[in-house]
Structure formats: C-alpha cells, structure tokens
Structure 1
C-alpha cells in the first residue's frame, strides 16, 4: 500500500496517463475523414473548398449570398439580391453561376432564372436565362464575345456606384463613361422568345451589329432578314415573297 501512495509512483502514474491521452488525441487527428449520410439537411449556405481553402462552389440563400470572387477575394456586391450558386475556378475567381427567384407583388408576377459560364477573368461567354415582369416575358440562349481585359475590383465598385444613381441626365452620362471605361461583352448569337411574343435567332458581327434575323413573329408569320453594316435590311424572305432585295 505504501508503494501506491508514494509520490514517485503517483508521478509515474500521472506521466503514463498523460502519454496515453496524448497518443489517443493524435491518433484521432490522423484518422481519415469519414463519410456521412443524411436523410435531410437544412442550411443557409454551403462553401465547397479545396484542401488549401480555395473556394470552388458556393450554394447560398439570398441573405447569405456572396459578392464577386476575384483571385480568392470576396468583393461585396450590393446588387446580388438573389439565391443560387456561384462557380469558382482553380484560382479563386468567379467562373459562372446559377441564380433564380420570383415573387408576386402589386405590379404583378415576377420570375427569373440565369445559368452562365464565364471566360477566364472575364464575363459570361454563354448564358441561358428567362425573365418575367408581369406580362413581359423573354427567355433564350446567348453566345457572347467577352473583352480581353481582366475584370478589376474597381469595375464592380464603379458599377455599384452607377446603380445607386437616380434616373436622369447624370445617370445616362455615367453609363456612357462606364461603358467606355469597361467595354461590355458583345452578344454574337441569341435564340429565344422576345417580349413582343416572337421567337427567333439573331446573329451579330464582332461589333455587335445585327446581320441575320430568322424569326416567327407574334402573328405566326415567318421571316428571314439579311442586314448590312448600317442595320438596313438588304434582303428578306417571308411567306409572301420568295426572296426580295432592297
């Protein structure tokens, strides 16, 4: 009994317990990650990241939706009042996304959905979308030529400053200056339904000028139009003509 109550024994016993506890903790940390299965999960936001912490995919509700990711930095965007997901490339820069929403208010029914894929360090090169504001509805697929400059954080700040401006001459001038400083992408092709109830295909040149229109108009009549650089229709084919030059 004296042996178990001696200070030397207690010191050895305490050291052994400490060593066992430390080994247990370290072993637990070395265990591989375990898969988990859930029947249902409720969250506000999910961040998918690489082992080094680089974000790759963010799924979020409207309240927690992120800003714009540029090389690992989340740049706040006050205009992103939506739910959805953001795709992010290997370098932590936004690579496209999916947003959606809808509601009914005093002005009528509203709905939207937008899926896009971006060029490296630039804007959307391909997008599929639909929009509804009351009776005004359009939906379609766009193929775009983006610009050659990388989108800077200052561009986002300038755009948000413009969005906060009231309607009027000052806002119109600010938009002109903004587009001159940051030329937007050029929509080269669009296939879809327009707000005038027509459906068709529009092709543009690299300067964004319409050169070919194929459409079925709201009244059901089909038409094919060829346009010159000034936008003038130089040849058309309708159900009433077999080809007429202008």
Structure 2
C-alpha cells in the first residue's frame, strides 16, 4: 500500500513537470507596503535602463557613455531614457534650509542638450519660478570627445546652450524674455518691481531701442 501510494505520487509529480515543460514562465509579481533603497533602475527586456531613480542624481547616459553632471551635493533625481538608453529628460531636487531648487526638463534627441525646463528656486531673496526654452541643437555631439575633454567639442556643445525664451516670476517682478540665436535679450515683456507693465526692445549690443509705454522724460533732457 505505502509503495503504491509512493509510486502514484511520484508519477503525478512527473506528469505535472512534463505538462509544465516548455511553457513560458508567468510574470513574477511581488507586493510590498514599503521599500527603502538608494537607487532603482527600471529596464526593458533588453536590459537597457528606461527610468532611473536615485538619492544622488544619476550620471547622464548618452551614446553608450556616461556624462558627469555638475550638481549640488545631495541632489536627488529621476532620469528618463529613450529606447537606445540616451537620456531624454528628468527631474532633480536639491537644497538645504537656506537655498535650493527643483528642476524638470525634457531634452532634445540625439544631442545631450536640454529643450525645455521648469525651475523653482528659493534663497535669500525669496522664491521664484521660471519656464525656459533652449535653442534647438545645430548638429550632433561626440560624447566620447566630451568625456576626453576635447576643447573643440566641449566648445561646440557650450555654444549650443542658448536660452531663447525665459518666462518667470519672483517676489519683485514677472516677465517674458525672448532672445536671439546668440542668447542676447531682444524683447522683454514684464511687470516691474513697481507693478508697472512695460515692453522693451534691445539691439544686439544690449542697447535699448524701444519702450512701451515710453520712459518718463527726465529733467534737463
């Protein structure tokens, strides 16, 4: 009797194993009420990271290399990556009791260059917020040369970092600045620290060329 039961159980196990052979494994599901980690990499089936969360801002993956960031100590962040692994945006938060900032960006493709950014800042003068649009890239960048400190390639990248639109508000004023391809402010629309609205235009040398409403005339002029 015991031997018959043993053989029957063994047969059932073998049948079960054979029946399950060749079937793809089901998704592994784990449930946690809370988890504490220093970094999480969310990768696709090919192992390429698509989202990275870390208490120290991750380096920027691009063209199979890692670009070192210049960020304040303790800057936590999230980066989003394209299917090829290149960074295409992210969120960064840093600061202490006295000053700090938070930043959210979307990047241009195929060039390690920010496209738009949302920024908040706090410091001695209070808090401020801004929306920034950067100029589109004018070519591609060799990240390997950047990491090798190739002066010409570093300068090419720096020359592409041009702010074209800056919309912001601070305790003193709120305004919109539109710049040319060289990053020179050409049109400023704002409500100044006196609460007065104004539109000001500038030439390429930074000299004021127009104002609405006109500036009050000064005695002796």
Which TM bucket (shorter chain)? 0.7 to 0.9
Give unmatched runs, 5+ long, in structure 1: 5-12, 160-173, 242-246
Give distance in 2, aligned partners of 1:78 and 1:183: 18
- Shift, 1:112, TM fit: 0.6
Q: How far apart are residue 57 of structure 1 and its match?
A: 0.4
Choose which of 177, 193, 199 in structure 1 pairs with 2:169: 193
Secondary structure in structure 1 of the residue aligned to 2:155: helix
The CA distance in 1 between the partners of 2:59 and 2:14, in whole Å, is 47
Relative to structure 1, is the Cα distance of residues 180 and 33 closer, same or farther in structure 2, using a 3 angstrom cutoff?
A: closer
Q: Given the alignment, which residue of 48, 55, 59 partners 1:54?
A: 48
**Match for residue 192 of structure 2 among 210, 217, 229:** 217
Q: Give the unaligned 5+ runs of structure 2.
A: 217-221
The answer to which structure has the higher helix fraction is: 1
Tell me the SS of whatever aligns to 2:145. Answer: helix
Q: Counterpart in 2 of 1:120?
A: 109
Q: Counterparts of 1:48-197 in structure 2 under 5 Å?
A: 48-62=42-56, 65-71=57-63, 73=64, 75=66, 77=68, 79-80=70-71, 81=73, 82-104=75-97, 109-122=98-111, 123-135=113-125, 137-147=127-137, 148-150=139-141, 152-156=143-147, 158=149, 178-179=154-155, 182-193=158-169, 197=172
Shift in Å at residue 100 of structure 1? 0.4
- After superposition, the CA RMSD in angstroms is 3.4
Query: CA–CA distance in 2 between the matches of 1:182 and 1:229?
Result: 20
**Would the aligned equivalents of 2:168 and 2:175 in 1 still touch at CA under 8 Å?**
yes
